[in-house]
Amino acid sequence: MTAATEAAIGAAPEQGLITDEGIAAAKRMIGLQLRPEGPYLQDATADTIRNFCNGIGDLNPLYRDAEYGRLSRYGSTLSHPMFPMAFGWIGRTRWGLPGVHGFYAGNEWELFQHIRPGDRISAIERVVGVEEKQSKFSGRLVLQYVEGTYANQRGEIVARALGTCTRHERKAARDAGKYKDIVQHEYTAEEFEAIEEAALREEERMTGNSVLYWEDVQVGDVLPPIVRGPLSLMDTMGFLVGCGRGHTHGVVLKAAKKHPGHFFRNPEAGGGVEYTGIGHHRESVAKEVGVPGTYDYGPQRSSWMCSLVTNWMGDAGFLKHIRTEMRRFNTMGDTTWCKGRVSGKRHVDGQALVDLEIWGENQNGVVTTPGSATVMLPSRDVGVPVFFDGRDVTLGLRFGSGAARER
């Protein structure tokens, strides 16, 4: 190890400041394309798709079971709609405002077609916005927006996403102490029983290969809730594995030498190099940035909310749009109940659409993750086009027309 390298990697995360100059420099990046964060998992295979589902706790057989997929309307398994997250966490902090801590704040997805085993995903990411705000958590903060466009090996766009992150001065967040009085929840036996009952019965409450028709859905209908938690290290580490993440030794050191502001020599690891986002796993680092303890990965929570919707819509539905916001931290020991209700029904360009209000709430009933979704469902109305893979495949044929009538 050279002296230059020792000097470049600090003994603690940088204490960067949000300045007018820093904000101006970040705004000058609007329109620029970013180098992909990974890519981490680029190839959709039966193994990578299933492993991603393991990392988010999704049990849907359409994403996991080869025989189920072979017998489905698609002829194969499909990827979970949030599988592009495994390519790279859209909106994650990695540009501008050096030394200023970042938190994933949410994303919004448009989905155009399914990803199947054999597809290879690529992405173009570009900076689309920078905003300055005020918060109780840290005072001055900056919101950064990145757009990701995902395509398969045929150049077909499969998804587009807008990712948001918030940037906070580490010391300001720590000094504000917004969450200093939060203590870990102590569950009763009855609470554990309710969590386990919901988790173990999740599969039987899925719509699956039963067709949910647009006409059978009513405004106000409640989606069967799903539960994730109490959050543990198994959950956060499992998500990293599911996304193909995990760098060690020389791979980490090379990244640290290239971007020293994002890494530090942690005394708790005997001076071993760690990423500044290690607060997801080290309580001391989490508290340095004003969080009461280790906490979840936002993209994982977004994926939980998506599973709520896909469980309800069944194999015949197509998720067109989903938005989630991380409004509060989800720390170790917290439980997230993912819930939703039908907020509207409409026809647009011949598509039978259902709008959903979705949200995640913790064990205390506090909403941590508000959001919305739009699903396209089959219709009993023969005038509504049939769709497949999210696309209209109506051929213009009509009952009683053509040669059959001339016989």
**CATH at residue 107:** 3.10.129.10
pLDDT attached to residue 337: 98
Do you know the residue count of the chain?
Answer: 407
- The reply to whether 390 falls in a domain is no
Per-block mean pLDDT, blocks of 10 residues, the chain (407 long):
52 78 93 85 96 97 97 96 92 79 91 96 94 81 93 96 88 68 89 97 97 98 97 94 87 83 85 85 84 90 98 97 94 97 95 97 96 97 84 57 43
- The reply to whether 237 falls in a domain is no
Q: Classify 155 in phi/psi space as left (phi over 0), alpha (psi -120 to 50) or beta.
A: left
Query: Which domain, by its residues, includes 122?
Result: 1-181
341, 337, 303, 183 alpha-carbon torsion, rounded to 10°: 140
Q: Which two tokens stand for residue 150?
A: 């995902």
Is residue 112 within 8 A of residue 100, CB to CB? The reply is no
Helix, coil or strand: residue 66:
helix
Residue type, 182: I
- Nearest by Cα to 224 from 342, 368, 335: 342
Let me know if 216 is exposed, middle or buried by CB neighbors in 10 A (0-12, 13-18, 19+): exposed
Contacts of 196 (CB under 8 A, 6+ apart): none
Let me know if 130 is exposed, middle or buried by CB neighbors in 10 A (0-12, 13-18, 19+): buried
Query: How do strand 157-168 and strand 336-348 relate by DSSP bridges?
Result: unpaired
- The reply to whether 18 falls in a domain is yes
Q: Which two tokens stand for residue 88?
A: 């790279």
- The reply to whether 46 falls in a domain is yes
Q: How far apart are CA 64 and CA 307, in angstroms?
A: 13
pLDDT attached to residue 10: 73
- The reply to whether 76 falls in a domain is yes
- The reply to whether 326 falls in a domain is no
Q: How far apart are CA 387 and CA 350, in angstroms?
A: 10
pLDDT attached to residue 398: 54
- The reply to whether 325 falls in a domain is no
Looking at residue 211, what DSSP letter applies? -
- The reply to whether 72 falls in a domain is yes
CA 167 from chain centre, in angstroms, equals 19
Contacts of 407 (CB under 8 A, 6+ apart): none
Looking at residue 11, what DSSP letter applies? S
Number of domains the chain contains = 1
Q: What is the pTM of this model?
A: 0.90
Query: How do strand 139-151 and strand 272-275 relate by DSSP bridges?
Result: unpaired
Q: What CA–CA distances, in Å, run from 273 to 111, 282, 283, 398?
A: 38, 13, 17, 67
